[in-house]
Amino acid sequence: MWGGVKMQLLNCNKVFFAAFIICIISVFEIAAQDLTPPVNPRGHKLFYFPINRTELLYDYSNNAAMLAALDALLADTTINSQIDTVYVIGAASPKGSHSYNERLAKGRTAALKEYITSCPNIEESRIVCNAIGVDWVGFRSLVASDQDIPNRHILLELLIQHLSEDRLLYHLTYKMDIEMLDYLVERIYSKLQYTSVRVLLKDGRMIPETSSPFEEPETKVEKIIHDTVVVHDTVCIIKKDTVPEKKFAILLKNNLLYDVALLPNLAVEIPFGDRWSALVGGYWSWWDTDAPRWWSYRIQWVWLEARRWWIKPDATPLDGWFTGLYVAGGDYDIRLFTETLDDLGYLSLWSMSAGLTGGYSLPLSQRLNMEFLLGVGWFGGNYKAYNRSRCLDCYPYMGKGRFNYWGLTSAAISIVYLIGKK
């Protein structure tokens, strides 16, 4: 009898132990479910893509949960029968050119559209793709809400200038410091590489109701400051109580074509106003030789130039297209490639030149540009012709003349170095 009782108690213990284990497992399952909040079927669904990729990856980021929520929404019979149009919106981050971002956005919308067409009762004709390219609304919202961005005030000041998209992409690609750019790529750009879905019902309602998955900040400027940035909700206000900081900038230029022609040269350019700059430069050579032909190559030349930069009023000069007006003057003593002592050399008294210039300054880095320039106009002045003669130190004048020339007066491929700040 006692043995039977022991057997029953043992069986009861096993039952209680099993029930206890089941309860523990259930608690952990509930806890695990609580750790992953459910996706709102009627809320925004973002499907993320790796950088420079257009393939919809099931296991990337939170795509699996989002696709499950999308399936549930489209499979809901009460909603499916009311669907008029399914909009697929594709976006990209501000990394790369405008055309490249548009291609990425189109490829991402095509990938999600292909997935949706596999769902029952959703005809391809009811799916409309909209590749928005860079999601600037999302970018501004993320920047306004993230106070950990290195040198964030510089980025905020850039965003409130209302630059064109190409100009803004150029600044974000080439003009940001490395620390800020790395942070943007890791923390901000990754959130903008997505596609989303909006469903238009036959009664005019939209799922989700709001068009943007991000808040749409209205960016305004009251005063500009470089040390205090205040963000109130979605409105970014940059305040300034002191005199605006004056940004000093100066450019040093060396014309490589003149270097090849053995003309050491240097020019200095200083920007002023919104789209103007002033330039002063010169080149100098004092080469001669005691070889039998007595070549001489001596030039002293200075010039002044005013430039107008053909860029947006809200951008700074120094990059892009420009035109200019110049005046120059100097003298020369040239006797080159002579074969006999009687071959002529030319010694100017004072010569001048004036005309127009045009060119393009191509940025190579934050402080280096490559500049291409052509100048046309007039060059002229009086000169004396001479030869070497038969005596050792005689340079008899053989005549006088005046030189007048209209046409190409200058050409430059210059290395430009920036000192200061743009």
Query: Angle CA(344)–CA(349)–CA(350) in degrees, nearest 5?
Result: 130
Across-strand partners of 372?
A: 360, 413
Q: Are strands 206-207 and 296-309 parallel, antiparallel or unpaired?
A: unpaired
Domain boundaries, the chain: 31-135+192-212, 137-179+215-245, 249-420
Buried-state track 333-349, b at ≥16 Cβ within 10 A, e below 16: bebeebeeeeeebbbbe
Better-scored residue on pLDDT, 26 or 209: 209
Model pTM score:
0.47
Q: Over 50: is that where the pLDDT of 224 sits?
A: no
Q: Which H helix or E strand runs over 158? A: helix 152-159
Mean pLDDT of 117-135: 82
Asked whether residue 211 carries a pLDDT value surpassing 50, the answer given is yes
218 or 193, higher pLDDT: 193
Plot region of 128 (φ>0 → left; ψ -120 to 50 → alpha; else → beta): beta
pLDDT of 371 strictly over 90 = yes
Kindly state which CATH superfamily the domain 31-135+192-212 is placed in.
Answer: OmpA-like domain (3.30.1330.60)
Give the pLDDT confidence of 99-111 residue by residue, as tens digits. 888 899 999 999 9
The percent of residues above 70 in pLDDT, for the chain, comes to 77
**Cβ neighbours of residue 233 under 8 Å, at least 6 residues apart?**
none
SS3 144: helix
Bridging pattern class, strands 194-201 and 83-92: antiparallel
Q: Is the pLDDT of residue 334 over 70?
A: yes
- The domain defined by 249-420 carries CATH number 2.40.160: yes
Q: For the chain, what is the mean pLDDT?
A: 78
pLDDT for 301 equals: 93
Span 30-83, pLDDT tens digits? 444 443 445 566 677 888 999 888 898 988 988 888 888 888 888 877 777 788
375: amino acid identity, one letter: G
Question: What are the backbone dihedrals phi and psi of residue 75, each rounded to the nearest 5 degrees, phi first?
Answer: -85, -10
